[in-house]
Amino acid sequence: MPDVGWYGAAYQLASAALQPLTGKVYVNFKNKWVFLTFFGLFELGSLLCGVANSSKMLIVGRAVQGMGTAGLQNGAFTIIAASVPLVKRPVLIGICQGVAQLGGVIGPLVGGALTQYTT
């Protein structure tokens, strides 16, 4: 129980701390490959969380997910800015952020339902 606060905090801390760095990565490398690399990093964090056998391993997995999320958020905005006319950008950015926030709300509910009602 003492580590429960770190489950969410590790994710948010890693994501917030790496936002500026990931922006620089997108400036210096090809957007497609950087985005796919951060997607792979997020998935690696998900794998670590899924196979976690201790609280500390889960916290590390959440931190790795946060690192991937930092790159995915910057990448989504970078790709939208590079490929969408200025008039349509606010709608697409709003959709991206809405889906991200919806996932943050629905994810724990679905996870709790799965752990409570399935074997």
Domain that holds residue 116: 86-119
Residues 66 and 29 in one domain: yes
**The two three-digit tokens of residue 49, written as one number:** 């969380």
What is the DSSP annotation of 40-85?
Answer: HHHHHHHHHHHT--SHHHHHHHHHHHHHHHHHHHHHHHHHHHHHS-
What confidence tens digit (pLDDT) does each residue in 45-66 have?
999 999 999 999 999 999 999 9
CB 92 within 8 A of CB 81: no
pLDDT at 119 over 80: no
**The two three-digit tokens of residue 119, written as one number:** 């074997």
Burial of 22 (0-12, 13-18, 19+ CB in 10 A): buried
What confidence tens digit (pLDDT) does each residue in 79-107 have?
999 999 999 999 999 999 999 899 889 98
Burial of 15 (0-12, 13-18, 19+ CB in 10 A): buried
The answer to pTM > 0.75 is yes
Residues 79 and 90 in one domain: no
Q: Residue 20's pLDDT band (boundaries 50, 70, 90)?
A: very high
Residues 75 and 95 in one domain: no
Residues 28 and 55 in one domain: yes
Residues 47 and 8 in one domain: yes
Domain count for the chain: 2
pLDDT at 10 over 80: yes
Q: Which position has the higher pLDDT, 99 or 2?
A: 99
Residues 73 and 104 in one domain: no
